[in-house]
Amino acid sequence: MSSHIDAILAAAIRHCQEEIIPNVDSWNESARWPRSASDAAGAAGLTGLYAPKEWGGQGLSLGDGIQVYEQLGKGDGAYAFALSMHNICTFATCGYGTEGFKQKWARDLASGRKLANFALTEPQSGSDAGNMYSRAVVKDGKWTINGKKAWVSLAGEADVYLTVVKTSDAPGHKDMAMIAIPKDTPGVSFGPLYDTPSYNFLPLAEMYLDNVVVPEENIILPIGQGLQGALMAIDIARTSIAAGCCGLIESALDTALSYAKNRKMFKGKNLDLDGIQWMLGDVATDLEASRLLYRAAANALGTPEGPLMAAHAKKFVPDAAVRAANTCTQVMGGSGLLAQYGMDRLSRLSQMLRIVDGTTEISRVVIGRALQKRAEGLPDLPVPKGYGE
């Protein structure tokens, strides 16, 4: 590991300890995005992880940079998720944006002075992302966009939204593109914030696009590459979520251990009981396996194995996080349900991380298709008479 990633991971650990852990409960109470914390993340180099140095970024590989979310996830999975989405948008801007767009946005995004997010989901198209209605009419170098996006993270807080739209009435995804829509463009507005108690500080809402006009300069992925590009971004997001979940598992495990070593019962301590050690041992094994899996997936991104490895990580690790939060709550008995220990928050967060950026079931679909393809390359085993008809 190079010293640069070591320094960034140390900055992430500090950010978690100084900004997230002491403040996350009050963030949730205030139901406001902690802009001062994301500004501090920017100053610490955590908002331009994969952006090249020439744009003020850290120039890290995906394989290295994704480890940051493991550290941030120890503090809060939703905060780690939002920063990961911003970092992917910054990566897309620097890698695929036009020169004019980069000149206007890349430095501000890499530094965290401005925030970005993706807008793909619509009310009728979540898992079924191809069933999108938002539509751009392209004329004289201008894109006029109408539509509605749903579940937009950092809604109203991000300064720019990398938005996937259709550009014709043709069915399918061949006419889709991704274009950047600045928040202050006339015609952009947001619905009421969703009420999500365990991560209330992350603004989530619908985004309305009413005759929004943006120049061609804002194209991130041209017509024909919109959905494919968004899915590539989602592979990075899935792996980042798996990394954040490892932080969450570690946080649940350490809370349970810190409690169980002091809880007196049956003339000893809770942690002296074999059954309790086995329960927590399962969590520890899941943590080790999850870490290996997300790191392997992160290193596979950008290779032909990337989508499948990201699906394995997104399928396995958030489920392991849900199990960890439940098991660690159980180990603590009634105390596990008290707000002061934070286990309830971890349970809700882990469940949220199973859904966002492609559900567990969608990962299963990706893995299932890969298995069908693999089967095609295998020799035929004869099936009993009548079984193949």
Ligand X SMILES: Cc1cc2nc3c(=O)[nH]c(=O)nc-3n(C[C@H](O)[C@H](O)[C@H](O)COP(=O)(O)OP(=O)(O)OC[C@H]3O[C@@H](n4cnc5c(N)ncnc54)[C@H](O)[C@@H]3O)c2cc1C
Interface stretch with ligand X, choices 59-67, 95-103, 148-156, 216-224 (CB under 6 A): 148-156
Interface stretch with ligand X, choices 47-55, 66-74, 104-112, 116-124 (CB under 6 A): 116-124
Give the integer Cα–Cα distance in Å for 150 and 356.
Answer: 12
The CB-of-20 to ligand X minimum distance in angstroms stands at 17
End-to-end CA distance of the chain, in Å?
Answer: 55
* 127 in contact with ligand X (CB under 6 A): yes
The CB-of-202 to ligand X minimum distance in angstroms stands at 7
* 289 in contact with ligand X (CB under 6 A): no
The CB-of-299 to ligand X minimum distance in angstroms stands at 24
The CB-of-141 to ligand X minimum distance in angstroms stands at 27
The CB-of-121 to ligand X minimum distance in angstroms stands at 3
Interface stretch with ligand X, choices 68-76, 165-173, 218-226, 358-366 (CB under 6 A): 358-366
* 359 in contact with ligand X (CB under 6 A): yes
92-99 LR contacts (CB < 8 Å, sep 24+) = 92/162, 92/178, 92/220, 92/221, 92/229, 92/233, 93/51, 93/162, 93/180, 93/220, 94/50, 94/51, 94/52, 94/55, 94/57, 96/220, 96/221, 96/229, 97/180, 97/220, 98/216, 98/217, 98/218, 98/219
Residues 6 or more apart whose Cβ sits within 8 Å of residue 54: none
> With respect to ligand X, which residue has the nearer C-beta, 235 or 357?
357
* 131 in contact with ligand X (CB under 6 A): no
Interface stretch with ligand X, choices 33-41, 103-111, 296-304, 348-356 (CB under 6 A): 348-356
The CB-of-347 to ligand X minimum distance in angstroms stands at 15
Give the footprint of ligand X on residues 193-252 (CB under 6 A).
204
Give the integer Cα–Cα distance in Å for 210 and 216.
Answer: 18
Residues 6 or more apart whose Cβ sits within 8 Å of residue 317: 241, 242, 245, 246, 290, 293, 294
Task: Pick the closest to residue 117 from 188, 186, 213, 176 (CA basis).
Answer: 188
Compute CA distances 161 → 74, 146, 195, whole Å: 27, 14, 21
> With respect to ligand X, which residue has the nearer C-beta, 202 or 271?
202
Task: Pick the closest to residue 5 from 91, 88, 81, 64 (CA basis).
Answer: 64
* 152 in contact with ligand X (CB under 6 A): yes
* 361 in contact with ligand X (CB under 6 A): yes
> With respect to ligand X, which residue has the nearer C-beta, 257 or 353?
353
> With respect to ligand X, which residue has the nearer C-beta, 263 or 323?
323
The CB-of-127 to ligand X minimum distance in angstroms stands at 3
Please say whether the beta carbons of 166 and 132 come within 8 A: yes
* 349 in contact with ligand X (CB under 6 A): no
* 117 in contact with ligand X (CB under 6 A): yes
* 151 in contact with ligand X (CB under 6 A): yes
Q: How many residues bind ligand X (CB under 6 A)?
A: 21
Quick one: 383 exposed, middle or buried, by C-beta within 10 A (0-12, 13-18, 19+)? exposed
* 121 in contact with ligand X (CB under 6 A): yes
Interface stretch with ligand X, choices 99-107, 135-143, 147-155, 282-290 (CB under 6 A): 147-155
Give the integer Cα–Cα distance in Å for 234 and 130.
Answer: 14
Quick one: 348 exposed, middle or buried, by C-beta within 10 A (0-12, 13-18, 19+)? middle
Minimal CB distance residue for ligand X? 126
The CB-of-66 to ligand X minimum distance in angstroms stands at 18
Give the integer Cα–Cα distance in Å for 281 and 255.
Answer: 14
* 352 in contact with ligand X (CB under 6 A): yes
Contacts to ligand X by CB under 6 A: 85, 117-121, 126-127, 151-153, 204, 352, 355-359, 361-362, 365
